[in-house]
Structure 1
Amino acid sequence: MGRKAYLGIDIGTSGIRCNIFDIEGNQIGFDYMEYPTICTEKGMLELEPNNVFKSLLEVVGNSIAKCSISSGDIRSIGISSQMHSFLAVDKDGNNLTNVITWGDTRSMDEAKFIEQNYDCGILYRKTGCRVQHPMYPLSNILWVKNKMKELFKNTYKFVTIKEFIVFKLSGEFVIDVTDASATGCLNINNFKWDRDILKDILKINEDKFGAVKECTYMVKGIKKKYAGRMGIKTNTPLVIGSGDGIMANIGCGGFDDTSMSCTIGTSGALRIAVDKPLFDEQGRTWCYCFTKDKWISGGAINNGGIVLKYFRNQFREQFEKEALRAGYEDIYDLFSYYASQINPGSDGLTFLPFLTGERAPGWNADATGTLLGLRFMHSKKHIIRAGMESVIYNMYSIYKMIEKIDGNVEQIIANGGYANSDVWLQIQADIFNKEIAVAGVKEASVLGAAYTGMVSVGDVKNFKQPVSRMKPLKVIKPKEKNVVLYREMYSEFLDNYSAILGKKLF
């Protein structure tokens, strides 16, 4: 037998990855596969769930094949997944709908119905969720009920994409407590499906949802046909893990409120771990369960890396040629190079990055992207940098909210795709006027998932015992002259927000 190996799987909005780690968190195997999102009408952002499942089987098999381990070396498989996903299934686990993701806003009418007919302040303190926003499955279930009456009647359960996959692999309908609290239907104070919400708003019974389990819960027995395709044993512990944001927090070594994890992938979020539910007076932050004695509080934006992905997709052929000529294998590396050629502040060009509506800080699903201050002198390089800066301006607004309700943060730890870009990290250090520590692994959510597996099988004592790769790789320090400039630019960003969207953030 070789060294002990731990698989971490992250089911994202844009793709799925599998990383294999040793007990210290060193990566020894990896594979990633991107899948398409479905958008054929306004507000739609779906995934085909069977496509996601097939991709999972493939990336796990590929990652194992790329490293010198055997199936007997694999101690556990931990799962991280996108939060707020939702689909309806029949009793055999067959999907009746596609996956409705956090970026889908078609349930805006239902979200407004909740806002107009229920006390959302009480619901916020029950669920930790701003339930009057359409990203939450609470309003999505109402949308299905209103728009697809027959399908709603034939639904056996409403599940997340992770539940769908776990059921396909094992035959169990189970949901981790974080994903459950991210539906807007769980009471985060008693860890149970809230009877009032189910009875009064949805008018359904709790058997329409999976059994709520701790993140360390192990599903016993993977179906032989799928275990064979992945190259693992049927009795390999499958640990249900948690949502990607919470797993990223853990993967960065964020075990309390002195460390704040900052993740920018497709979307973006800032989070801290707290010992009791933490709420904002105006309900602008969220708070989800992680374990029986730990909650994760923070704020998330819809539009993180998806802003650059949008630019990439619109002019992909051109950018691929330019990347090839410049010697870059990845278009995003080209974007970082472009941004490095432009002055901080993008020579007066600013952008409101709300391509898929907005979550925190303004919680406006109707918000749209807007480019301001465009002059003849501005080039595509300016637009790329302005896009990067706009994402960080929005993240800084969330930071200020969290700082107001919990002022213990000593360190910000960067992870996710943006941590590959020194330019983007420097922009953050300058706008935040804080040192940004770069996580020991770039995809912290996958390490967090694998680490949860380590804890589950007893190879790590508890969630307060970090592994060596959770230590930061480097620290990016702010540049004073840029800090002064960005203070003015951030003020302009807030003014533009108020002028375009009709309300103030602070």
Structure 2
Amino acid sequence: MSERVYLGIDIGTSGIRSNVFDIKGNQIGFDYKEYPTICIERGMLELDPDVVFKSLIEVVKNSIDKCNLSFNDIRSIGMSSQMHSFLAVDRNGNNLTNVITWGDTRSIDEARFIEKNYDCNKLYRKTGCRVQHPMYPLSNILWVKNKMPQVFKNTYKFVTIKEYIIFKLSGKFVIDVTDASAMGCLNINNFQWDEYILKNILQIDSDRFGEVKECTYVVPGIKSEYARQMGIKIDTPLVIGSGDGIMANIGCGGFDDTSMSCTIGTSGALRIAVNKPLFDEEQRTWCYCFTKDTWVAGGAINNGGIVLKYFRNQFRQQFEKEASEAKYDNIYHLFDYYASQIDPGSNGLTFLPFITGERAPGWNADATGSLVGLRFMHDKRHIIRASMEGVIYNMYSIYRMIEKIDGNVQQIIANGGYANSDIWLQIQADIFNKEIAVAGITEASVFGAAYTGMVAVGDIKSLKDPIPKMKPVKVIKPNSKNVEVYKDMYKRFLNYYTAILGKQLF
């Protein structure tokens, strides 16, 4: 292949993907590998960092091999990864812990300690983070300090999974500004690690974290051992990229202040780019810094596609058999078919999808999932559809909160795995009562990573300079009849939320 191409890598919670794109955004090859999460006690949700790293080497090699590429064809490698996940490493970069992910809630006592002993509204205005929630590494690092004091003492740096991968590949500890912002320890007003938080809450110095760089920063030199295994040159530009949420905004072309990116993968989020920090009086949304003149505000849910994955895993053999018999190439296409057979509202069945606790909108780490209104008439199809609806009810609550603090949203752009599901998109259009534009590249995070690489090497002018491929390819319009059904069902959802979780959202 004579035309140079660009590699994007997305390190997810459930798996890792490597996609190869040309300069026009056409995908010419990809590979994906799922890996297990570790959950052997209540609140635990970890990953083995070395399993993630080995998977990365494998998917990069496979994606390149599938395209018949040579060493010289790869122009750059851009990175994207799950946010709010970290691990402790020693001076040599060896991991002292597993990756403690965003879904791990074991630090709930530490989060409550922060809430009780510090002015969290002031911290929110500093960091853009609701730091009194165990999603944020701030409370998780405090948990490591309390529960594993020797590990804490021996820790050279606390790093994100992307930092760990970059260190393994290059020997350099660097973190992009948005991933740093999502730690809960960075001041989003000056883009520096916050001295007050580090000294008073964690009692550490800023050198325990990586050097903060912009997302287009190029890490010099990939170790020859790994370059050879992946099939790339040692001087291939390795671009640090950013968190998957920010990369999704870039990859779907949603980086102006009128476009809201809606991503549902394992988790889910709604995000909008703004030109100044944006705060919610009740701290229901977050705001992370991205560039010197751009911040990203939004809200994220723990429970997106992981809800369907949970049901898949519980009844995998049966679902695989049914998918095979119906000639579907995967279980999720079978789920789409099942959901499409059931009327909007799932015949009165409502699912509160909080199987891994809750982030936005209620920020209740103790929240649990609930099926409400279950009757003898309901079957697996109703449960699948109610699960999809429950995720969207929750996303709609976040949308209402963002709309309250920024009423400038004119377009919602769907991306992530759910954007491949026509039925899930229709459910969203009907519940939101809004048109939903579908991104031209649905796997927007991994393309955003590749696109950042294009910008870093000078082949694209700027991150705000979208190419035609990034424009929406279709628009899903709400069905007026379904909208009326969902108005009632959403009210029920809110009432059940209040009755079961003891909090009123609106």
Q: What TM-score results when the alignment is normalised by the length of structure 1?
A: 0.99
Q: Deviations over 1:231-267 (max 9, x none)?
A: 0000000000000001001101011221001000000
- Residues in 1 aligned to 2:304 and 2:464: alpha-carbon distance in whole angstroms: 29
- Residues in 2 aligned to 1:363 and 1:474: alpha-carbon distance in whole angstroms: 33
Partner of 2:432: 432
Instruction: Report if the CA contact (8 A) 1:2-1:69 is conserved.
Output: no
- Residues in 2 aligned to 1:464 and 1:312: alpha-carbon distance in whole angstroms: 38
Residue 285, structure 1, aligned to residue 268, structure 2: no
Residue 338 of structure 1 aligns to a residue whose secondary structure is helix
Partner of 1:162: 162
Residue 324 of structure 2 aligns to a residue whose secondary structure is helix
Residue 307 of structure 1 aligns to a residue whose secondary structure is helix
Residue 262, structure 1, aligned to residue 262, structure 2: yes
Partner of 2:476: 476
Partner of 2:37: 37
Instruction: Report if the CA contact (8 A) 1:178-1:242 is conserved.
Output: yes
The Cα of 1:495 is off from its aligned counterpart by 0.3
Instruction: Report if the CA contact (8 A) 1:247-1:444 is conserved.
Output: yes
Instruction: Report if the CA contact (8 A) 1:304-1:391 is conserved.
Output: yes
The Cα of 1:35 is off from its aligned counterpart by 0.2
Aligned AA (1:496): Y
Partner of 1:61: 61
Q: Deviations over 1:73-114 (max 9, x none)?
A: 111100000000110000000000000000000000000000
Residue 263 of structure 2 aligns to a residue whose secondary structure is strand
- Give ranges in structure 1 of 5+ residues lacking alignment: none
The Cα of 1:329 is off from its aligned counterpart by 1.1
Partner of 1:101: 101
- Residues in 2 aligned to 1:92 and 1:173: alpha-carbon distance in whole angstroms: 11
- Residues in 2 aligned to 1:308 and 1:127: alpha-carbon distance in whole angstroms: 33
The Cα of 1:290 is off from its aligned counterpart by 1.1
The Cα of 1:4 is off from its aligned counterpart by 1.7
Partner of 2:441: 441
Partner of 1:24: 24
Partner of 1:2: 2
Partner of 1:228: 228
- Residues in 2 aligned to 1:378 and 1:155: alpha-carbon distance in whole angstroms: 52
Residue 208, structure 1, aligned to residue 220, structure 2: no
What RMSD, in angstroms, separates the aligned Cα atoms of the two structures? 0.6
Aligned AA (2:100): I
Q: Deviations over 1:396-452 (max 9, x none)?
A: 000000000111111110011111110000000000001111111121001100010
- Residues in 2 aligned to 1:468 and 1:314: alpha-carbon distance in whole angstroms: 41
Aligned AA (1:61): K
- Residues in 1 aligned to 2:294 and 2:69: alpha-carbon distance in whole angstroms: 35
Aligned AA (1:415): N
Q: How does 1:54-453 map to 2 (within 5 A)?
A: 54-453=54-453
- Residues in 2 aligned to 1:85 and 1:501: alpha-carbon distance in whole angstroms: 26
- Residues in 2 aligned to 1:463 and 1:320: alpha-carbon distance in whole angstroms: 41
- Residues in 1 aligned to 2:153 and 2:413: alpha-carbon distance in whole angstroms: 45
The Cα of 1:13 is off from its aligned counterpart by 0.2
Residue 135 of structure 1 aligns to a residue whose secondary structure is coil
- Residues in 2 aligned to 1:66 and 1:163: alpha-carbon distance in whole angstroms: 27
Q: Deviations over 1:190-244 (max 9, x none)?
A: 0000000000000000010000000000001000000000000000000000000
Q: Deviations over 1:327-383 (max 9, x none)?
A: 101000000000000000000000100000000000000000000000000000000
- Residues in 2 aligned to 1:465 and 1:505: alpha-carbon distance in whole angstroms: 38
- Residues in 1 aligned to 2:206 and 2:37: alpha-carbon distance in whole angstroms: 30
- Residues in 2 aligned to 1:300 and 1:51: alpha-carbon distance in whole angstroms: 26
- Residues in 2 aligned to 1:452 and 1:286: alpha-carbon distance in whole angstroms: 23
> What is the total number of aligned residue pairs between the two structures?
506
Aligned AA (2:279): F
Aligned AA (1:273): A
- Residues in 1 aligned to 2:49 and 2:267: alpha-carbon distance in whole angstroms: 20
The Cα of 1:142 is off from its aligned counterpart by 0.4
The Cα of 1:183 is off from its aligned counterpart by 0.3
Aligned AA (2:233): K
More displaced 10-residue stretch of structure 1: 413-422 or 65-74: 65-74
- Residues in 2 aligned to 1:463 and 1:316: alpha-carbon distance in whole angstroms: 41
- Residues in 2 aligned to 1:467 and 1:67: alpha-carbon distance in whole angstroms: 22
Aligned AA (1:197): I
Partner of 1:467: 467
Residue 116 of structure 1 aligns to a residue whose secondary structure is helix
The Cα of 1:151 is off from its aligned counterpart by 1.0
Q: Deviations over 1:27-60 (max 9, x none)?
A: 0110000000000000000000000000000000
Instruction: Report if the CA contact (8 A) 2:252-2:442 is conserved.
Output: no
Q: What TM-score results when the alignment is normalised by the length of structure 2?
A: 0.99
Aligned AA (2:42): K
Aligned AA (1:120): C
Aligned AA (2:167): F
Residue 487 of structure 2 aligns to a residue whose secondary structure is helix
- Residues in 1 aligned to 2:464 and 2:149: alpha-carbon distance in whole angstroms: 47
Residue 183 of structure 2 aligns to a residue whose secondary structure is coil
The Cα of 1:68 is off from its aligned counterpart by 3.0
Aligned AA (1:114): I
Instruction: Report if the CA contact (8 A) 1:284-1:299 is conserved.
Output: yes
- Residues in 2 aligned to 1:2 and 1:399: alpha-carbon distance in whole angstroms: 45
Residue 7 of structure 1 aligns to a residue whose secondary structure is strand
- Residues in 2 aligned to 1:181 and 1:56: alpha-carbon distance in whole angstroms: 25
The Cα of 1:69 is off from its aligned counterpart by 2.3
- Residues in 1 aligned to 2:355 and 2:464: alpha-carbon distance in whole angstroms: 38
Residue 427 of structure 1 aligns to a residue whose secondary structure is helix
Instruction: Report if the CA contact (8 A) 1:85-1:99 is conserved.
Output: yes
Instruction: Report if the CA contact (8 A) 1:2-1:70 is conserved.
Output: no
Aligned AA (1:242): S
Aligned AA (2:496): N
Residue 76 of structure 2 aligns to a residue whose secondary structure is strand
Q: Deviations over 1:129-182 (max 9, x none)?
A: 000000111001100000011111111110000000000000000000000000
User: Which segments of structure 1 move beyond 6 Å, counting only runs of 4 or more?
Assistant: none
- Residues in 1 aligned to 2:384 and 2:120: alpha-carbon distance in whole angstroms: 38
Q: Percent identity?
A: 80
- Give ranges in structure 2 of 5+ residues lacking alignment: none
